[in-house]
Amino acid sequence: MTKKIPKKFWTSVFINCPFDEEYKLLLRPMLFTLVSVRLLPRLASERSDSLEQRIEKILRLINECKYSIHDLSRLKSERANEFSRLNMPFELGIEYGCRRIAKNHLRTKRSLILEKKRYDIQKALSDLNGVDIKCHNNKPTQTVQALQHWLIETVGLNDVESPSVIWDKFNEFDYQFYERRKAQGYSKRDLQIMPVQQYIRFIKQWVASKR
Amino acid sequence: MSVKYHVIAWLNGTWRVRRSGAKRATSVHYKRTEAIEKARKLAKKDLTGGTVVIHGVDGTVKSSTTYGKRSLPSA
C-alpha cells in the first residue's frame, strides 16, 4: 500500500539558512514573500524540542517539503579566525541526495540556491558548477527579486506580484506589525528576537486581512 | 487618523516617499536624508497631522514620528 502524501507537502518550503541576527534582514522579507503567495515556510528553528536531534529535524523537514531554499552566502569567512558555516551546504547535500535517490513524490522536489556574490559558490563548492544559482548581494531587496523570479520560473506560479509591489507591501506590513505589537506591550528587542513561527503567524494574519 | 508618509529603500538603490495606501511614490531621491526631509515637509503641511515612518534598507521600521494637527487661522 502506498503511503498517502500529506497535502501540506505541495506547498511547503524548507528554508536552509543561517539563524543569526544579521541574517534576519534577509529572512523576514523572504518569509513575507513566500506567505504572500500562499506557500508555507518551514525552518529548523520552528520547533525547539530539546530531546529532538537537530539532524532528525532536518531530515523530517526535507521529507515534508516539496520546495527548498538554500542560502550558501556564509561559505566564506569575513574575518580572521572565523569559521565558514558548513551546515547549509551539508543540508543542501542531503536535499540533493534525497531528490536523486527517491523513487516517489520526493523526485518532484524543486530548489533555489542563493549566494552572496556571483561565482562565490563555484570557488568553494565546484561540484555545483553548472547549477543555476541566484545571488542577493546580502540585500533584502535583491533577495525578494531572486525569490520572485524563482517563484515564476521554477515553482510555476503565474499570479506573483512584481518585486516592487512585494517589497512595498512588506514595508507596509512591517509598519503595522511594529505599531500593533508596540500597542500590545512588545519592546523593539522583543520584536527582534520573536520566534519565527510567531512572526509567520503575524504575516499570515496580515496577508489574509488584505485579501 | 493621521496620514502616513513612508520613507522606503527602493530596489534600485533610491529612496522613495510614499503616502500610505498610494500606489505610486510621491517623490524619489538618491539620498535617504533628502527623502526624510521631504516626508517631514509633507507631514508638517498636512492639515490633519502627518506621521513620518522611516524604514531601513531591510524594510523594517526604524522610527515613526507624528507631527501635530495644524490649527486653522480663525476667520
Question: What is the per-residue pLDDT across A26-59, written as a single tens digit (0 to 9) for each?
Answer: 999 999 999 999 999 999 887 777 777 889 999 9
Distance CA(A34)–CA(A23), nearest Å, equals: 17
pLDDT at residue number A200: 94
Contact status of B19 with chain A (Cβ, < 8 Å): no
- Quick one: how far is CA A35 from the chain centroid? 11
> Cα(A134)–Cα(A151) distance, rounded to whole angstroms?
12
> B-chain residues within 8 Å CB-CB of A163?
11
User: Which residues have a Cβ under 8 Å from the Cβ of A91 and sit 6 or more positions away?
Assistant: A16, A58, A62, A70
A125: left (phi over 0), alpha (psi -120 to 50) or beta: beta
ipTM above 0.85?
no
Count of C-beta atoms within a 10 Å radius of residue B38: 20
Asked whether the beta carbons of residue A140 and residue B57 sit closer than 8 angstroms, the reply is yes
CB within 8 Å: A29 and B58: yes
> Residue range A198-206: average pLDDT?
94
pLDDT at position B75 over 60? no
Residue of B nearest to A163 (CA): B11
Contact of B43 with chain A, judged by CB distance below 8 Å, is answered with no
CB contact under 8 A, B57 and A139: yes
Q: B61 — contact with chain A (CB < 8 Å)?
A: yes
B59/A28 touch (CB, cutoff 8 Å), yes or no? yes
Query: A178 and B10: CB-CB below 8 Å?
Result: no
Percent with pLDDT over 90 in chain A: 58
For residue range A3-12, what is the model confidence (pLDDT) as tens digits?
A: 788 889 999 9
Judged against a pLDDT cut of 80, whether residue A76 lies above it is answered with no
Q: Where are the domains of chain B?
A: 3-67
- Contact B58/A163, CB-based, under 8 Å? no
Q: What is the pLDDT of residues B21-51, one digit of tens each?
A: 888 889 999 999 999 999 999 998 887 888 9
Of B9, B53, B57, the CB nearest to A175: B53
Owner of C-alpha cell 518550503: A13
pLDDT at B51: 92
Please write the tens of the pLDDT for every residue from A111-170: 999 999 888 888 888 888 888 899 999 999 999 999 999 999 999 998 899 999 999 999
- Tell me the one-letter amino acid at A135: C
